[in-house]
Amino acid sequence: MKSIWLVSRRAYSVERPIGRQFHRGLLTLAIETSCDDTGVAVLEKHENRSASLHFNSRITSDNREHGGVQPIVAHESHQEKLAGLVSQALESLPLQPPTAGLADTILISSKNGPRLRKKPDFVTVTRGPGMRANLITGVDTAKGLAVAWQVPILGVNHMQAHALTSRMVSALHANERSPDERHDNDPPYPFLSLLVSGGNTMLVHSRDLCDHKILADTTDTALGRMIDKAARDILPETVLKSAANVAYGGLLESFAFPDPSLSYEYRPPTKSLSPVAESTEYGWSITPPFLNPGPGGIRKFDSAFSFSGIGSKAKDIMKHRPTSDLAERRLLARKTMSVAFEHLASRVIIALESPSLEHVRTLVVSGGVASNQYLKHILRSILNSRGYGDMRLLFPPPKFCTDNAAMIAWTGVEMWEAGWRSELGFTARKHWSIDPEAADGGILGSSGWKKAA
């Protein structure tokens, strides 16, 4: 069955599947270009609190020649790939119901001829933090779409989006639960967020949509960056050459545990999480952070992460043992990760021991490193051993751990529902905290916000 629409004196057909029901939801097209991943998504939140991801795709720039993300290469990749992804995404926009007016409709070209689709209610884009030139590519494209479609735009915080990813995943699976079991958004505030990626490592008390208090932050390098660098030192050359991109951390995990059917051999510290350097059968050890804290003791570093020393030690071991066999390299990979992950867990335990967080019983782990299953195993083991077996531990599916436009779209939806919009004149932000107590005022401290009437 087809309906014929007259637009500018030309006839266009609208596919109208038999039995298809159309419901008014909240639809957004989102763009993510903060680093080396070009991402575009189309997400719709329905009136029954569920959500549908109509399109979600990303292309990672090829930085293998440089051994890490090269800003110019990543920027050029965004310029080359973004328009094509947007074009693909338009074909995934929901079909427009026959009763809709032309103001809510856009015309797209496809191999089957012109098609009428539902126009997004607004456009969402990553405003920051990230590489500024890369962000600008996404921001300018999003502004162009918003102006052309005459719809609002939302420039959102990339780290806020990581913190909200589990809420998006819950909405995507809401239809699997009965209506009575569906909550507005799950997990509800407050909860702890462990944001671990190649650019950031922070423990956050997520108290509300725009209120994420940073409890611990890295003093040197991010966990993901350290693991990627350590992987380049530890992995055999043949393994490195097999990499599809420069996110070597995933390769390090699969190399360390070649047989996924075997359970991880890990026993958490039984008495405390004070750092201890354990010697291996090869005579070396990975030195934990703050092993010798100096005057004031280790408690003065309760709000600090430090990973550079772990990576430096792994590099030094390989420098002095370049002929190490596979067994030794695999052990070094496991030790490098376990020491880093125990350090990460120690700050979670310190936070949970605070009286102000005694009612928090959910820990959300997101960011690229959250796809590491060994991290999940160690966190769960340590939480259980320290008396937090009832702590709910949420890891998004791996495809939503890395940078992606779906989480940007969802953050746009939540900000929209809270009444926030962005002015067209907003600019990209290289640095942008999510903590309202930070010097820049956090998410809402940035200029360019406006409240819907």
Q: What is the pLDDT of residues 335-379, one digit of tens each?
A: 999 999 999 999 999 999 999 998 999 999 999 999 999 999 999
Cis peptide before 97 (omega within 30 of 0): no
- The Cα 208–Cα 187 span in angstroms is 11
Environment class of residue 207 by beta-carbon count within 10 Å: exposed (0-12), middle (13-18) or buried (19+)? Answer: middle
Q: What is the DSSP letter of 390?
A: T
How many residues are listed for the chain in this entry? 453
Q: For the chain, how big is the Rg over CA atoms in Å?
A: 24
Q: What digits encode the pLDDT tens for the residues 38-47?
A: 999 999 999 9
Report the DSSP beta bridge partners of residue 105.
118
List the single range of 160-164, 172-176, 357-361, 422-426 with lowest mean pLDDT.
Answer: 172-176
Residue 350: per-residue pLDDT? 93
Indicate the residue type of 408: I
Residue 110: per-residue pLDDT? 78
Mean pLDDT of the chain: 89
Residue 262: per-residue pLDDT? 66
Residue 266: per-residue pLDDT? 85
Residue 141: per-residue pLDDT? 98
Q: Is the pLDDT reported for residue 9 higher than 50? A: no
Q: What digits encode the pLDDT tens for the residues 103-114?
A: 889 988 877 788
Dihedral sign, Cα of residue 168, residue 174, residue 145, residue 147: negative
Q: Is the pLDDT reported for residue 51 higher than 50? A: yes
Q: Which residues contact 22 (CB under 8 A, 6 or more apart)?
A: 94, 95, 97, 99
Measuring CA to CA, which residue among 424, 9, 4, 94 is closest to residue 105? Answer: 94
- The Cα 212–Cα 436 span in angstroms is 7
Contacts 24+ apart (CB under 8 A), 317-325: 317/284, 318/233, 318/234, 321/282, 321/284, 324/282
- The Cα 26–Cα 47 span in angstroms is 8
- The Cα 218–Cα 307 span in angstroms is 8
Q: Which residue intervals of 192-279 are DSSP H helices? A: 223-234, 237-241, 249-256
What does the longest C-alpha to C-alpha distance in the chain come to? 81
Percent of the chain whose predicted confidence (pLDDT) is above 70:
88
CATH (one of 1.10.10.520, 3.40.50.800, 3.30.2310.20, 3.30.420.40) for 198-400:
3.30.420.40
- The Cα 33–Cα 132 span in angstroms is 10
Q: Where are the domains of the chain?
A: 2-187+403-451, 198-400
List the single range of 28-37, 62-71, 190-199 with lowest mean pLDDT.
Answer: 62-71
Indicate the residue type of 34: S
Helix (H) or strand (E) holding 188: none
Q: Which residues contact 133 (CB under 8 A, 6 or more apart)?
A: 71, 75
- The Cα 344–Cα 197 span in angstroms is 12
Report the DSSP beta bridge partners of residue 193.
204, 364
Torsion angle of the four alpha carbons 267, 273, 275, 281, in this order, in degrees rounded to the nearest 10: -10
Helix (H) or strand (E) holding 271: none
Residue 296: per-residue pLDDT? 63
Exposure string of 301-331, with b = 16+ CB inside 10 Å and e = fewer, is beeebbbbbbbbbbeebbeeeeebeeebbbb
Residue 19: per-residue pLDDT? 36
- SS3 for 41-55 is EEEEECCCCCEEEEE
Q: What digits encode the pLDDT tens for the residues 61-99?
A: 888 877 778 889 999 999 999 999 999 999 999 988 767
Q: What digits encode the pLDDT tens for the residues 225-273?
A: 999 999 999 999 999 888 877 778 899 999 999 986 666 788 888 666 6
Which residue did the predictor score with more confidence, 14 or 205? Answer: 205
Q: Is the pLDDT reported for residue 136 higher than 70? A: yes
Q: Is the pLDDT reported for residue 306 higher than 90? A: yes
| Domain 2-187+403-451 of CATH type 3.30.420.40 | yes
- Whole-angstrom CA distances from 184 to 65, 163, 363, 393 are 46, 16, 19, 20
Q: What angle do CA 104, 412, 50 make, to 5 degrees?
A: 80
pTM assigned to the model = 0.90
- The Cα 43–Cα 50 span in angstroms is 11
Environment class of residue 361 by beta-carbon count within 10 Å: exposed (0-12), middle (13-18) or buried (19+)? Answer: middle
Indicate the residue type of 62: D
CA 131 to chain centre: 16
Which residue did the predictor score with more confidence, 318 or 2? Answer: 318
Which residue did the predictor score with more confidence, 279 or 180? Answer: 279
Task: Tell me whether domains 2-187+403-451 and 198-400 share a fold.
Answer: yes
Cis peptide before 129 (omega within 30 of 0): yes
Dihedral sign, Cα of residue 431, residue 434, residue 440, residue 445: positive
List the single range of 91-100, 154-163, 250-259, 303-312 with lowest mean pLDDT.
Answer: 91-100
Query: Which is it for strands 362-366 and 392-394: parallel, antiparallel or unpaired?
Result: parallel
Residue 15: per-residue pLDDT? 45
Residue 69: per-residue pLDDT? 82
List the single range of 148-157, 183-192, 350-359 with lowest mean pLDDT.
Answer: 183-192
**Structure-block tokens of residue 333:** 């990979």
Q: Is the pLDDT reported for residue 1 higher than 60? A: no
**Structure-block tokens of residue 317:** 């071991």
- Residue 59 and residue 37 in contact, taking contact as beta carbons nearer than 8 Å: yes
Helix (H) or strand (E) holding 419: none
Q: Is the pLDDT reported for residue 12 higher than 80? A: no
Phi, psi for residue 419 in degrees, rounded to 5: 95, 10
Q: Which whole number is the average pLDDT over 193-202? A: 94
Measuring CA to CA, which residue among 95, 108, 351, 61 is closest to residue 206? Answer: 351
Torsion angle of the four alpha carbons 136, 137, 141, 142, in this order, in degrees rounded to the nearest 10: -50
Q: Which residues contact 292 (CB under 8 A, 6 or more apart)?
A: none
